[in-house]
Amino acid sequence: MNFDIKPTMDARQAAETVFREESGKIIASLIRLSGSFDKAEDASQEAFASALLSWPKTGIPANPAAWMMTTAHRKLIDQVRREHTARDKEDLVRYEIEAFAPSSKPEIESETMHFPDERLRLIFTCCHPALNQEGQVALTLRTLGGLSTPEIAKAFLLPEPTLAQRLARAKRKIQEAHISYEVPPPERLPERLASVQAVIYLIFNEGYVAASGNQLIRTDLCAEAIRLARVLRDLMSDEAENLGLLALMLLHDSRRAARVRDGKLVTLEDQDRSLWNQSQIAEGISLVEKALMLGPVGPYQLQAAIAALHGEARTAEETDWKQIKELYERLLDVNPSPVVALNHAVAVAMCDGFADGLKNMDALGASGELDRYYLYHAARADLLRRLKRSAEAAEAYHKALAIVTNQIEREFLQDRLQQVERPVRQN
């Protein structure tokens, strides 16, 4: 007797893996043909269901990706034919699909049809600046990332209906306001590409520093953002900022395992650097170098270069703060935001002395713009702590604690607060 069910499991797993990898391409291609996000999603889901059903019986096809793509196209054609029989009406969709469809059903196994990669159109459409950012993020993850609505809802700690609504709203706007399914022309490209990069980075950050809740890092979102950045880099590899963005995320992600110890946040300075992912660091560094050679330099490359300098340092003391400080100065030139200025002040403190850094920070705080930004108070508290001005440090920690939302970050600040309050109590 043989109860070996492994082939079935393997086939199912293969179907899942292939679908996950290919669904972005498949959906992009089907939207191009049908002009409809919903039709494309339905057809690709049907193809996935077919694979789950037939692969365990017939075995994994020789070219599983091509099988999935071809089957999805066939499902779309069937879907549109069904609709047309019902309505018996001509339209563009039918014309395009019939022109495209093979006249006879060839063996899928020997399929060598080539489908152009339409993912660039898809990513620009999903991240169109006329869509709100929540919609951009949800739609990008749903279509390009191939994540299901429940998966996205879970990642963002939101109820499923909320996510479903966001997706529906975004798709409706694309359809009804006529957001074109195309790569923007050169004159619109800088603005539009920036919007795509912002969405990917937002997904990463949502995973890297969960804004709320008690889990600091949500690795699924980080991995997905890195995957999307790779796609963008592959599709537009001569855009230096695409390389910079991928490098930046890889370098941040390389420190993931060292950022939390026993459920507690560990600062860069105190991290166990042997836990850093060296292959991600190496890839990040080589990407930054390539990007900077390619030019023009932009904010992602500069931030990645800073992260690369941290990644290169074998100990905290080895950190090249002088170069980091200079890079923050360049970053301030292109992105003069108070948050960048805050980071610059930290670099000044580490490079020229805590007192200088604090002076810098206090000047920044004078405008009141950073009052609601907990990292400002946390960074100030840290410098005061290092300067042994415990009472002032405690006051700053209290301010940071009043507005921090992430539980792990809160605990970190509470620990630090206790450390600075202890000597005061002893007096």
Partner 1 sequence: MRYMFLIYSVESADATPEALQAVAQRHRQVMDEAAAHGVMEAAEPLKPTITATTLRMKEGDAMLVDGPFAETKEQLAGYYILRCKDLDEAIDWAKKIPTGCKGGEGCVEIRPLHDELRH
Output the smallest distance, CB 245 to partner 1, in A.
23
d(CA 211, CA 156) in angstroms, rounded, equals 10
Nearest to 40 by CA among 20, 55, 25, 19: 25
Nearer to partner 1, 188 or 422 (CB): 188
Nearer to partner 1, 135 or 284 (CB): 135
Nearer to partner 1, 183 or 358 (CB): 183
Neighbours of 208 (CB within 10 A): 21
d(CA 321, CA 36) in angstroms, rounded, equals 51
According to the binding rule CB under 8 A, does residue 58 interact with partner 1?
A: no
Output the smallest distance, CB 191 to partner 1, in A.
10
* Total interface residues for partner 1 by CB under 8 A: 9
Output the smallest distance, CB 169 to partner 1, in A.
15
Token representation of residue 120: 């660039």
Per DSSP (E only), the strands in 119-263 are 260-261
Output the smallest distance, CB 177 to partner 1, in A.
5
Nearer to partner 1, 90 or 176 (CB): 176
Nearer to partner 1, 88 or 187 (CB): 187
Nearest to 422 by CA among 385, 387, 396: 385
Nearest to 122 by CA among 145, 94, 101: 145
The 150-189 site mask, x for binding partner 1 (CB under 8 A), equals --------------------------xxxxx---x---x-
Token representation of residue 5: 């069910």
According to the binding rule CB under 8 A, does residue 87 interact with partner 1?
A: no
According to the binding rule CB under 8 A, does residue 89 interact with partner 1?
A: no
Token representation of residue 68: 């999935």
Phi and psi, residue 261, nearest 5°: -130, 125
d(CA 188, CA 43) in angstroms, rounded, equals 32
According to the binding rule CB under 8 A, does residue 132 interact with partner 1?
A: no
Judged by CB under 8 A, the residue of 62, 113, 130, 211 near partner 1 is: 130
Using CB under 8 A as the criterion, which residues of the chain lie in contact with partner 1 when the complex forms? Answer: 128, 130, 176-180, 184, 188
